[in-house]
Structure 1
Amino acid sequence: MARIDHFNNPNAPKPNSIMVAVTVFVQDEQGRVLLIQRTDNGLWALPGGAQDFGEYISETAMRETREETGVEVEVAGIVGIYSNPNHVVEYGDGEVRQQFSICFRGRYVAGKPRTSDESSAVRWVGREELDRLQIHPSMRLRIDRGLEQRQKPYIG
């Protein structure tokens, strides 16, 4: 399904849904960040997705990372909570979702990066490579905050 992110766009469509979602910031032993290239919009992003019924939010973070990347992680903290009402995601089926996402800090456990239906590419990315990749500004915010290793999570 096609996806269009509207970020601080006064002409964006009005949201008609909100859903609890996660992203996961995880680094390897060399400090590189695990990123996927999304199949729905071609942009690079942290792995993540929506919470399923009957699931703890930490389980969502671990499941989504495993499904999209093949990498097993455990939740080690929170990078931030992102609820900017000026960030809406428009889907091809008419849904326009207001962002609500918890970005978790994950700790690598096992596995090698591999693609999925939701990721056309998966790889560990060094800080010096980030500016060369197409990354949505809201996702780059999460990545940059994760790299800063803040003691307290961002809430906004």
Structure 2
Amino acid sequence: MQRITNCVLTNGEQALLLQKPSRGWWVAPGGKMEFGETIKESAEREFREETGLHVEGAKLRAVFTIVVLENDQPVNEWMMFTFHATSYKGTMFAQSPEGKLEWKNIKDVSGLPMAEGDKYMFDHILNDKDGVLHGTFYYTKDFQLVSSRLTLE
């Protein structure tokens, strides 16, 4: 099972997002954990590698299991740990090695192209809802959402 970490950085009414070239979807910058890292270390490292910025005071806000199905059978599964930060240092890359970086108005994020499950994560974080959101999302191989379960802790 792959472990993925990411971080949503907000600054006032703006959120820094990354548009991935493969699907054109907007995501929170992040990526795969390396051996021996904590989830927080991974989220901070991945964010820095993709944006050039060092987030400070990141807090865990969502934990998801993503299951990809083929003929109703699981063929891939990963865990995603999402952090939120409001403070950072450094200079943002003019161009990320992973796609297009852009500050987006928080009220516009829900209308951007993205994975259906990410909409729940962004809603939870960007609307400043309390607690840690937990969920499982089931997708087809072409990332159409089949079903989901969500709980708030």
Residue 15 of structure 1 is matched in structure 2 by none
Cα shift readout 1:72-100 (whole Å, capped 9, x = no counterpart): 10243111111143xx299xxxxx53131
Q: 1:89 to 1:144 in 2, by over 3 A?
A: farther
Q: Which whole-Å CA distance do the structure 2 matches of 1:150 and 1:64 have between them?
A: 24
Q: Secondary structure at the match of 1:135?
A: coil
TM-score (norm 2): 0.74
Residue 132 of structure 1: CA displacement? 4.3
- Tell me the distance in 1 between the aligned counterparts of 2:56 and 2:69: 28
AA in 1 matched with 2:97:
D
In structure 2, the CA distance between the partners of 1:33 and 1:20, relative to structure 1 (3 Å rule), is: same
Q: Which of these residues, 77, 96, 99, is aligned with residue 116 of structure 1?
A: 96
Residue 141 (structure 1) aligns with: 120
User: How big is each residue's C-alpha offset from its partner over 1:21-71, in whole Å with a ceiling of 9 and x where there is no partner?
Assistant: 11211101x231110011333211111111001222211111111111112
Which one has the bigger strand percentage? 2
| AA matched with 1:21 | I
1:56 is aligned with what amino acid?
A: T
Q: Which residue of 1 aligns with 2:44?
A: 62
Q: Per the alignment, do residues 89 and 38 of structure 1 end up closer, same or farther by CA in structure 2, a change over 3 Å counting?
A: farther
The verdict on how the C-alpha distance between 1:39 and 1:73 changes in structure 2, with shifts beyond 3 A counting, is same
Determine if the alignment matches structure 1 residue 80 to structure 2 residue 57. no
Contact 1:89 1:99 in 2 (8 A): no
Alpha carbons of structure 1 residues 134 and 32: separation in structure 2 relative to 1, 3 Å: same
Larger RCO (alpha carbons 8 Å, 6+ apart): 1
- Taking only aligned residues, the RMSD between alpha carbons, in angstroms, comes to 2.1
In structure 2, list runs of 5 or more residues that go unmatched.
136-153
Cα distance in 2 for residues equivalent to 1:49 and 1:33: 18
**Contiguous gaps of at least 5 residues in structure 1:** 1-17, 91-95
Q: Does 2:27 correspond to 1:45?
A: yes
Q: Secondary structure at the match of 1:20?
A: strand
Aligned residues: 130
For residues 126 and 15 of structure 2, the distance between their equivalents in structure 1, rounded to whole angstroms, comes to 9
CA drift at 1:153:
0.3
Cα deviation, 1:120-149, whole Å, max 9, x if unaligned, reads: x10111123224421221122211110122
**Alignment-mate amino acid for residue 121 of structure 2:** R
CA contact (8 A) 2:61 2:82 kept: yes
Task: Using the TM superposition, give the Cα deviation of residue 101 of structure 1 relative to its aligned residue in structure 2, in angstroms.
Answer: 0.5
